[in-house]
Structure 1
Amino acid sequence: MKQIDIGCGPKKAENHFGVDLFQFPGVDLVFDFDAGAWPIEDSSFDSARSIHVIEHISDTKNFFKEIHRICKDGAEVYIETPHFSWVDSWSDPTHRWHFSAGWYGPLQKGEYLGAIVGHFEHVKTVIEFNKSVRSWYPRLIVKLFGIETYERYYAFRYPARNIHTWLRVRK
């Protein structure tokens, strides 16, 4: 199984092909994700992961178009990004975007970005909360009423840390 770690930084996942903007130790390929087509062959990977990268990308449309292109049909794509309600989403001056848990919606079949970049099927999304005792309440809200209700009415009162999303490439 061939796997890629997109924006791996100095902590490349084990048994992954690591790509990054900077030449950290262990990075296999250095290039700018915003520079157009990536220097990687079509349908090369069975899975992809990108942890805390999409919030830095200027052209997210091209980012997902290239992920779709370099992954095989059925490849699982894992994306992790800060939740818009968490201070870390706003405290890094290099963050260009702030995401909600439903950020992947436009990439699905029948949606406008899916038609442009390629289709991604949503597998699941989990929002991660702080480990404090206070986080039991937003967890309960999500469990009883769903992520959308939590984000609409409670997110800034009870911030979530990260969004974990799994997608599947469909060609």
Structure 2
Amino acid sequence: MKLNLGCGNKRMPGFIGVDLYPCEAADILCDITGRLPFRDSSIDEIYLDNVIEHIRDIPALMKEVVRVSKNGAQMTIITPHLTSLSSWRDPTHVHHLSYFSFDHFEKASVTHYVGGGLKVVGRKLSFGGGVLGLTGRLIFTLSPKKYEEKYCFIFRASTLTFYLKVTK
């Protein structure tokens, strides 16, 4: 079973649409910030597109995702990068995420409060075109850490995609 959490009007073939509001693609209505209406270890894949930045308690959602997911389940999260105007323009966004935001779910020193059970298997940072976008992409390619520490607010990124795997 595959879930599109916070689906809105985006229907994805093979996915069950889950949303708080009765929208075009929603097959199931529920508040994804609470208990998800699925059995433990029953989900193969989870997709969130421009949803995670609206979630107040990301660790609680991640714990719930781990609960309902099978071991090895894949998860894709798409969100504006913290330097994107899209991250700040929407007043309902409560988080502004960086390339390294989901690393905390892997660190043994913090899994007691973030839950653990997730491994970052990939991530992608997208940039716009033009000289600034190309320069940002070049600096980022050379050193993602240095890009985010020193240059990200000069050479802004647009979209951030995380690829996670559930590890039980």
TM range (shorter): over 0.9
The yes-or-no answer on 1:12 pairing with 2:11 is: yes
Q: Which 4+ residue blocks in structure 1 deviate beyond 2 angstroms?
A: 113-118, 131-134
Work out whether residues 42 and 70 of structure 2, in 8 Å CA contact, stay in contact via their aligned partners in 1. yes
Give the 5 Å matches for 1:1-171: 2-34=1-33, 36-108=34-106, 110-113=108-111, 116-144=114-142, 146-171=143-168
Per the alignment, do residues 38 and 8 of structure 1 end up closer, same or farther by CA in structure 2, a change over 3 Å counting? same
Shift of 1:101: 0.5
Work out whether residues 48 and 78 of structure 1, in 8 Å CA contact, stay in contact via their aligned partners in 2. yes
Per the alignment, do residues 118 and 23 of structure 1 end up closer, same or farther by CA in structure 2, a change over 3 Å counting? same
TM-score of the aligned structures, taking structure 2 as reference length: 0.94
1:82-102 per-position Cα deviation (integer Å, ceiling 9, x unaligned) = 111111101100000111100
Following the alignment from structure 1 to structure 2, what is the Cα–Cα distance between the partners of residues 116 and 104?
10
TM-score of the aligned structures, taking structure 1 as reference length: 0.92
RMSD, aligned α-carbons: 1.5
1:34-65 per-position Cα deviation (integer Å, ceiling 9, x unaligned) = 2x311111111111111111110111111101
Shift of 1:18: 0.8
Following the alignment from structure 2 to structure 1, what is the Cα–Cα distance between the partners of residues 148 and 39?
38
1:16-43 per-position Cα deviation (integer Å, ceiling 9, x unaligned) = 0110111112311111122x31111111
SS at match of 1:118: coil
Following the alignment from structure 2 to structure 1, what is the Cα–Cα distance between the partners of residues 25 and 81?
28
Work out whether residues 55 and 98 of structure 1, in 8 Å CA contact, stay in contact via their aligned partners in 2. yes
Work out whether residues 60 and 114 of structure 2, in 8 Å CA contact, stay in contact via their aligned partners in 1. no
Following the alignment from structure 2 to structure 1, what is the Cα–Cα distance between the partners of residues 152 and 112?
28
SS at match of 1:104: helix
Percent same amino acid among aligned pairs?
34
Following the alignment from structure 2 to structure 1, what is the Cα–Cα distance between the partners of residues 73 and 113?
18
Letter matched to residue 10 of structure 1: N
